[in-house]
Chain A
Amino acid sequence: MDFPPPVAAERSVVWEPTGDGRRVISLADSHILLWDLQESSSQAVLAGSASLEGKGQLKFTAGRWSPHHTCTQVATANDTTIRGWDTRSMSQIYCIENAHGQLVRDLDFNPNKQYYLASCGDDCKVKFWDTRNVTEPVKTLEEHSHWVWSVRYNHSHDQLVLTGSSDSRVILSNMVSISSEPFGHLVDDDDLSDQEERRPEEKSQEPPQDSVIATYEEHEDSVYAVDWSSADPWLFASLSYDGRLVINRVPRALKYHILL
């Protein structure tokens, strides 16, 4: 399958997360292009495009397709700004100015909560946004000591957030307070209420606290990508500059805590 010759250097290409996988967006410098891949044809058809206008050279640095709203929303980052796009009209829906102090490196949508968006950037911070109210981040993490290159929600348990940074660390955080799962598994609690020895434990863990679960320091150089396994929700991998791919599991205790 061919694409027409690019107008500018492609920054990234993102597939439609659900559906029949026929649509792809690509980010090229200041343009966002929506492609329709037709099976019958070997040619990709440009279904829509939009471009940034403003002074200076504006370049997209990251893009992400929202899995909600039947995949009609795309979020992009350029410099310190995060923008949301409607793919039907290719028009901007929201804009978070100065989302980060410096360049925004990566974005990810919460797979279970439709308006929640995580972003990370060169100011060493990871921020969580509610796209309905873009004036203030919902939550900010400052655990890394250098640029954060990648942020990923766990596909099924969205309190688990993975970040990779050029300080060579991967950090797994437990963002209970803004996850889609109810605090402390209220339903489960009722079932377990007769088991006396469990009660104090459960009690002591409430109220839930956002916390760093683990910091992985296996990498010797900057970590540029992290992602969750699509098969096993407790497995994740990280890749660093020196070519090292590290696969880790969510700590067992936490896993049981989330499951039980």
Chain B
Amino acid sequence: MAAVAAGPGPGSGPGDSPEGPEAEAPERRRKAHGMLKLYYGLSEGEAAGRPSGSDPLDPTDLNGAHFDPEVYLDKLRRECPLAQLMDSETDMVRQIRALDSDMQTLVYENYNKFISATDTIRKMKNDFRKMEDEMDRLATNMAVITDFSARISATLQDRHERITKLAGVHALLRKLQFLFELPSRLTKCVELGAYGQAVRYQGRARAVLQQYQHLPSFRAIQDDCQVITARLAQQLRQRFREGGSGAPEQAECVELLLALGEPAEELCEEFLAHARGRLEAELRSLEAELGPSPPAPDVLEFTDRGGSGFVGGLCQVASAYQELFAAQGPAGAEKLAAFARELGGRYFALVERRLAQEQGGGDNSLLVRALDRFHRRLRAPGALLAAAGLAEAATEIVERVARERLGHHLQGLRSAFLGCLTDVRQALAAPRLAGKEGPGLAELLANVASSILSHIKASLAAVHLFTAKEVSFSNKPYFRGEFCSQGVREGLIVGFIRSMCQTAQSFCDSPGEKGGATPPALLLLLSRLCLDYETATISYILTLTDEQFLVQDQSPVTPVSTLCAEARETARRLLTHYVKVQGLVISQMLRKSVETRDWLSTLEPRNVRAVMKRVVEDTTAIDVQVGLLYEEGVRKAQSSDSSKRTFSVYSSSRQQGRYAPSYTPSAPMDTNLLSNIQKLFSERIDVFSPVEFNKVSVLTGIIKISLKTLLECVRLRTFGRFGLQQVQVDCHFLQLYLWRFVADEELVHLLLDEVVASAALRCPDPVPMEPSVVEVICERG
């Protein structure tokens, strides 16, 4: 029921009165209701306060908004029986009564409130009326005030304008005063030396003076100012020229002069000229240090001084220049670059001279540090003066020095090697003089090898300094690539090994083939050294190098195998030469012994000739010598026959029997035939054949050469009977002692048979000695 009181409240205002007569248009009315509800934002269901399920527009709904009493009554009348009608009537009456009583209760309850509200409204009405009066008064007053104000400002307008004008005049007068005082101020400033202040004043006044120069008074001031300014400029220049002060002060002078409007071009020239003077003085002092006399300071100190003096100066000049003459544009920069290039070039020349003095020295670390300083120092101006290319030039110098160092080290290694050789020569010569045993060959070899290796390592370590990380130039491409691969590996190490091989080979080519020039032991030692290099040392050194200098460069390098092959070839040539030399020594002995003796009138042999003993001794000595450095080697199987090693009577006699037929007193034709047949089945003997790297092969070579010489010499002589017998004895002796040195003893037998046979052929009365007698003589001798 509350909905009936509130719900139709707003809507019934316009709709209640036309309800009766306009019953024929309920549609329109409902529409208007809907629109109102819409206006109040209520959904129809909510407004009805009922579940939205029932039709809100039902005109028979007693509580509905569209309740139509006529329809409702009609409906009741038509549908309901009487009893129900009666019920509904009573029900309705009851409801109406209840509503009425409710309404009465509400009115009673709210009566007080209505009364107080009415009172309040009345009071408010009264207050507002008072307030309205006051507002009116205020408006009147304001109008009066406005009026007065307008009047005052109109009165003051005139004076205000005059004051403004006066203030302007005052400012102008102050400016003028400044201008009139300017000359004296300038003078004072100049006197006090406050050039900066003076230049500021001048700068402030210049434009004005320029503008009003047509007025005579200003003209005078301007003239005065110009005079003073000229003097100022003069003084500044004076100060600038005197130049005793440092670069910053000079820069200040130049700045002031520029502010005075002096021509920049000229100043720039002059500035550079002054800078040049200073830097040249630095250079001169450096040069003086360099001097012709030896007491030059060490290279580190030199580069330090150069770096701080010259390079620092150059840096200052460059930065000052760039600040001052930035307006000059590319031409100015070009001028500076040329300036830096020229002086830099002279500085570099000095540094190079100094470094050249250092070339001979051994201390790499100092040099590298000096170079590092030098290079590092030049980076700053390099950045400032990229155009002058100082950094590049510096890098180039460093690279050149590095290259020279490499060359120097190579030279050092070479001379160290030669020194080692000299030592060896002396060591080899010494024991003969002193008559006592010197250090053994093996020991000498070890000494030489270790000394060379340590030299190489020292050189590598020294050169390695160039690529140390903390050195500023080590990350240059040259030092990362070419220096490592081409310089160190190829130039230094490979170069040294090659030169070592060449030096060694040169001993083979020496004209002194007679054996005097090079001690044979040295040849042997070198040969072994080269062989050792081939087997191990070369690869070791190269691995070491590659490890120390991580080669990033892909340029081709000499492979280890090539070097090894070279070393092996050298070793082979040396050993062959050794064989030749030693063979020649023994050959000479044998030849002399054959050539100088009168074989026709010799006596019956009683002894083995001393020279043969000497030959055996020498051969034994050579055997020992070679044995110190080379392995035994392989003999032919037959030589391992133990019976021969013991020199048993049996073995000797058996040998005796074997070549006995060749000098039995038979017809020469038979001998010839026999020897020819024998040769048919034996291999040709290649006398100067290449040798292998073992003792047996070396000794075989030497003995072959010696015996062949003996053979050829014997063939040139004529023998008496006893001469022949002597040869027989000698050969038997040689056979007894030489077989054990050679790879194939058959060879010795063959050659000695040949010797005896040849002697027999050259003998008019070939009566050989009894083999048993020969044996006895040999055993005895």
Q: A residues within 8 Å of B by Cβ?
A: 98, 101-102, 123-124, 145-147, 166-168, 217, 220-222, 241-243
Alpha-carbon gap, A168 to B686, bound state (A): 10
- B715–A241 touching, CB < 8 Å: yes
- A166–B708 touching, CB < 8 Å: yes
Given contacts A101-B514, A124-B688, 13 further A-B contacts (CB under 8 A): A123-B513, A145-B686, A145-B687, A145-B688, A146-B687, A147-B712, A166-B708, A167-B684, A167-B686, A217-B684, A221-B679, A242-B676, A242-B679
Contacts of B680 in A (CB 8 A): 220
- A98–B511 touching, CB < 8 Å: yes
Chain A CB within 8 A of B12 CB: no
Residue of A nearest to B688 (CB): A145
Alpha-carbon gap, A173 to B686, bound state (A): 20
- B686–A222 touching, CB < 8 Å: no
Q: Chain B interface secondary structure, helix, strand, loop or mixed?
A: helix
Residue of B nearest to A80 (CB): B514
Chain A CB within 8 A of B648 CB: no
Alpha-carbon gap, A220 to B676, bound state (A): 7
CB distance from B506 to the nearest CB of A (A): 16
Residue of A nearest to B675 (CB): A242
CB distance from A12 to the nearest CB of B (A): 13
CB distance from B173 to the nearest CB of A (A): 110
Chain A CB within 8 A of B689 CB: yes
How many inter-chain contacts with C-beta < 8 Å in the A-B complex? 37
Contacts of B686 in A (CB 8 A): 145, 167
Alpha-carbon gap, A116 to B546, bound state (A): 54
- A220–B679 touching, CB < 8 Å: yes
Q: What 0/1 pattern do residues 642 to 673 of B give for CB contact below 8 A with A?
A: 00000000000000000000000000000010
CB distance from B422 to the nearest CB of A (A): 25
- A101–B688 touching, CB < 8 Å: no
Chain A CB within 8 A of B318 CB: no
Alpha-carbon gap, A102 to B688, bound state (A): 14
- B514–A146 touching, CB < 8 Å: no
Partner of A102, one of B584, B679, B715: B584
Alpha-carbon gap, A22 to B279, bound state (A): 93
User: What 9 A-B pairs are tightest by C-beta distance, nearest first?
Assistant: A101-B513, A146-B687, A220-B679, A145-B688, A145-B686, A145-B687, A166-B712, A242-B676, A124-B688
Contacts of A243 in B (CB 8 A): 672
Contacts of B687 in A (CB 8 A): 145-146, 167
Q: What 0/1 pattern do residues 736 to 761 of B give for CB contact below 8 A with A?
A: 00000000000000000000001000
Alpha-carbon gap, A102 to B588, bound state (A): 10
CB distance from A215 to the nearest CB of B (A): 12
Alpha-carbon gap, A166 to B712, bound state (A): 8
Contacts of A167 in B (CB 8 A): 684, 686-687
Interface residues of B in 703-740 (CB under 8 A from A): 708, 712, 715
Residue of A nearest to B689 (CB): A145
CB distance from A237 to the nearest CB of B (A): 19
Contacts of A101 in B (CB 8 A): 511, 513-514
The contact sample of 22 A-B pairs, CB cut-off 8 A, is A101-B511, A101-B513, A102-B513, A102-B514, A102-B584, A123-B513, A124-B688, A145-B687, A145-B689, A146-B688, A147-B712, A166-B708, A166-B712, A167-B686, A167-B687, A220-B676, A222-B712, A241-B715, A241-B758, A242-B672, A242-B675, A242-B676
Contacts of A166 in B (CB 8 A): 708, 712
Alpha-carbon gap, A145 to B688, bound state (A): 5
Alpha-carbon gap, A167 to B680, bound state (A): 15
Contacts of A102 in B (CB 8 A): 513-514, 584
Residue of B nearest to A144 (CB): B688
Residue of B nearest to A168 (CB): B684
Contacts of B689 in A (CB 8 A): 145
Q: What 0/1 pattern do residues 499 to 519 of B give for CB contact below 8 A with A?
A: 000000000000101100000
Contacts of A98 in B (CB 8 A): 511
Interface residues of B in 49-82 (CB under 8 A from A): none
